[in-house]
Amino acid sequence: MLQVDGVGVHDNFFALGGDSILSIQLASRARRAGLRFTSRDLFLNQTIAELAQVVTVPGPEVRSVHTGPALVPLTPIQHEFFATHPLQPEHFTQSTLLQLHEGSSLDRLRSALDVVTGRHDALALRFDRTSSGWTQTYRPDAVRYRLEVHDLSAVPDSELRAVMHSHAVRAEQGFSLVDGPLFTALYFERAQPLLFLTAHHLVIDAVSWQVLLEELSLSYDGSELAPPSSPYREWATRLRDHVLAGGLDSERMYWAALPAPLPLPVDSAVAPLARSASVISTELTSAETSLLTRKVTGRLRSSADAIVLSAVALALAKWTGDPRVLVDLERHGREDLFDEVDLSATVGWFTSKFPVSLTLPETGGHAALVRHVRGQLRQVPGNGIGYGALRYLAPGGPAEDRAQVVFNYHGQVDGRSGGGVGSLVAGVAEPIGLDHAPEEELPQLLEVVGAIHGGRLRLHWHYSGDVHRRETVQAVADDAVRVLRELVEGV
């Protein structure tokens, strides 16, 4: 999981490159082995020796059984989605294309899909537009996935991606929020088969994909799966009730005091439509990435995501000419608010999104910058989950002053495809399809996504080509990666 050789009982999980999403994955795998701890436990007990003192062996869980449809409160991120995607809410997906091992069995795959999708209540959610807005309903008897088989054995290699892309786009554009299903699998028959999986974002997120793909690989091989963790509908209901009972009222003053966002410079003052979306990517070498995540983090006593955010913020400040930077942060949102709720292996859309106001120091160099940003991040209450919860689930919440930049750090993504877990997945192929409706307006002008893949930290800068010229965004992206390299060189 950490991509390191040998881990001692006193080695620090985060010093070895661990992050918040990996902590959830580790808790999920431990759960499969009959051990229970939370990501919060790991944050407070960062070595095996310390963690062993708090790990428990839970008994059988008894969960209530819903025999009929039930209304489920929308979560904050679902509320935001419907508020920002009025034109074609049906077309907003997350997808992956997997290379399967030669000789993979379609029958075993179908059986595994039956088992895995049947475990997760989010895949049985359906959505209806009413006079007062959107609602979601859990329908336990709903069909949870669709499987299509396409024989592409005669398609030349030169045409393969175009043919698969066409099938993928049709699947992504074909979801019905009312009728479902909201999860589709396309099996492409070849000497080495490929499997395209796509789901509407309303029922899935990045952590959910790692859960689904691991379970799919294990079930395909006939391995016994751990009991399901807490249902998505339980979390949605508990969160709503917690907010209405005043459980997050202590955060109201913090969120109300945040400044309004400053406008970004633009090259053209037009609407940023999804059809104009482009991306610029920069990366560190594997050696630089290793130094950043294992040396720089320790020297500065900061997490990798705080360090990367510092570099991005400095690049943005240089671009705008203002040391004040307001960005929206996206986090996994699976916070340990309720002791009896375990979300380590739950499928659904949990993402939390919240604004962070950063005022960058004018002196002290990059190390001072990181420490300053780290300090400002620590002032955010509850990892930011309260912002959306108070805004959408309770009256009198914070006003929506959306920052024009959103930052999301996924951390270490190697090993999250199910590859290496069993005999089904051989690897991940280059993406195909069209995740977003072209005529929807992008919620923000810039989206910066960081992830470590293949041992390299990569920063992807998503922008509208109608609003910003490529060279404009490239200059900002280059500034950010330069700051990261200078931090590494200072080790």
Q: Which residues of the chain have pLDDT under 50?
A: 62
Residue 65 lies in a domain: no
In a shared domain, residues 101 and 222: yes
Same domain, residue pair 200 and 56: no
Give the range of the structural domain holding residue 278, as residue numbers without chain letter. 252-489
Could you give the number of structural domains in the chain? 3
Predicted local distance difference test score (pLDDT) of residue 401: 72
What is the C-alpha separation between 461 and 466, in angstroms, rounded?
Answer: 15
Residue 237 belongs to a domain: no
CB-CB contact of 444 with 403 (8 Å): yes
413/210 Cα distance (integer angstroms): 9
Look at residue 296 and tell me if it is in a domain: yes
Query: Where residue 47 sits, what CATH number does that domain have?
Result: 1.10.1200.10
- β-strand pairing of 425-428 with 456-464: unpaired
Note whether 40 and 176 are same-domain residues.
no
Q: Are residue 75 and residue 56 in the same domain, yes or no?
A: no
Same domain, 159 and 108: yes
- 244 falls within a domain: no
Residue 7 identity: V
The answer to the question of residue 238 being in a domain is no
What the block records as the tokens of 490 is 């200072």
105 and 45 fall within a common domain? no
At residue 66, the pLDDT reads 54
How many whole angstroms from its chain centre is CA 376? 23
Q: How far apart are CA 197 and CA 157, in angstroms?
A: 21
Q: Which amino acid is at 172?
A: E
* 247 falls within a domain: no
Query: How far is residue 344's CA from residue 331's CA, in Å, rounded to a whole number?
Result: 15
Q: What is the CATH number of the domain that holds 86?
A: 3.30.559.10
Which residues are 406's β-sheet partners?
A: 328, 447
Phi and psi, residue 391, nearest 5°: -65, -45
Averaged pLDDT of the chain? 90
- CATH number of the domain within which 290 lies: 3.30.559.30
For 57-105, where are the alpha helices, taking DSSP H only? 76-84
Residue 445 lies in a domain: yes
DSSP 199-250: EEGGG--HHHHHHHHHHHHHHHTTPPPPPP-S-HHHHHHHHHHHHHTTTTGG
- Of 488, 484, 430, 431, nearest in space to 459 by CA: 484
Task: Tell me how far apart the alpha carbons of residues 231 and 225 are, in angstroms, rounded to a whole number.
Answer: 16
Query: In terms of domains, do 48 and 83 share one?
Result: no
- Which residue, of 34, 60, 86, is where some domain finishes? 60
What residues are paired with 146 via a beta bridge? 184
- C-alpha dist (Å) from residue 151 to 194, 311, 383: 11, 47, 47
Q: Which of 18, 36, 60 is the last residue of a domain?
A: 60
Q: Find tokens 């069995």 and name the residue.
A: 105
pLDDT reported for residue 81 = 96
Question: Of 249, 225, 229, 245, which is closest to residue 237 (Cα–Cα)?
Answer: 245
H/E element, 188: strand 183-189
- How do beta strands 277-283 and 456-464 pair? antiparallel
* Nearest Cα to Cα of residue 78 among 135, 130, 132: 135
Phi, psi of 399 (to 5 degrees): -70, 155
Q: Are residues 184 and 40 in the same domain?
A: no
The reported pLDDT for the residue numbered 487 is 94
Asked whether residue 74 falls in the same domain as residue 56, the answer is no
- Residue 266 contacts residue 373 (beta carbons within 8 Å): no
Are the C-beta atoms of residues 220 and 422 closer than 8 Å to each other?
Answer: yes
Cβ 276 vs Cβ 415: under 8 Å: no
The two structure tokens encoding residue 364: 């002290």
Question: Is the same domain home to 267 and 361?
Answer: yes
Q: What does the pLDDT read at residue 340?
A: 87
Helix (H) or strand (E) holding 462: strand 456-464
Q: For residues 293 and 340, what is the distance between their CA atoms, to the nearest angstrom? A: 33
Name the residue among 314, 259, 307, 312 with its Cα closest to residue 446.
312
Distance separating alpha carbons of residues 187 and 407, to the nearest angstrom: 34
Residue 240 falls within a domain, yes or no? no
**Residue 294 DSSP label:** I
Last residue of a domain, one of 185, 204, 232: 232
Whether the Cβ atoms of residue 432 and residue 105 lie closer than 8 Å to each other: no
438's tokens: 């072209």
φ/ψ region of 333 (left if φ > 0, alpha if ψ in -120 to 50, else beta) reads: left
Question: Under 8 Å CB-to-CB from 312, ≥6 apart: which residues?
Answer: 327, 407, 448, 459, 480
Cα gap 200→203, rounded to integer Å: 6
Same domain, 38 and 76: no
Q: Which residue has the tokens 């091989």?
A: 221
Question: Do 224 and 350 lie in a common domain?
Answer: no
